[in-house]
Amino acid sequence: MRPSHVEINLKNLEKNIETTREKLGDKKLLVVVKADAYGHGAVAVSIRASAMGVDFLGVGIVEEGIELKNAGIQTPIIILSQELEERLEEIVRYNLIPTVCSRNFLEGLNREGKRQKKIVDLFVMLDTGMGRYGVPPDEFIYFLRLIKKMEWVKIQGVMSHFPVAGVDDQFTKEQISKFETLIKAAESQGMSIPIKSMANSAAFLAEENSIFDMVRLGLIIYGISPTYDPNPMGFHPVMKVKSKISFIKTIPPGHSVSYSRSFIAKKPTTIATVPIGYADGYDRKLSNKGWMMVRGMRAPVIGDVTMDTTMIDVTDIPEVKIGDEVIVLDESISAWDIARTIDSIPYEVISRMGKRLPRLYI
Active-site annotation, residues: 34, 259
C-alpha closest to that of 329 among 287, 276, 284, 285: 276
Residue 254 gets which letter from DSSP? T
- Which residues, at least 6 apart from 64, have a Cβ–Cβ distance to it below 8 Å? 33, 34, 36, 42
267 burial type by CB count under 10 A (0-12 exposed, 13-18 middle, 19+ buried): exposed
The one-letter code for the residue type at 4 is S
Which whole-number Å values give the CA distances from 337 to 28, 98, 147, 191, in the listed order?
32, 35, 46, 47
In contact, 222 and 40? CB cutoff 8 Å: yes
The backbone torsions φ and ψ at residue 185, rounded to the nearest 5 degrees and listed phi first, read -65, -45
Residue 119 gets which letter from DSSP? P
In contact, 216 and 97? CB cutoff 8 Å: no
214 burial type by CB count under 10 A (0-12 exposed, 13-18 middle, 19+ buried): buried
In contact, 170 and 208? CB cutoff 8 Å: no
Q: Calculate helix-pair angle for 169-188, 140-149, nearest 10 degrees.
A: 40
3-state secondary structure of 189: coil
The one-letter code for the residue type at 19 is T
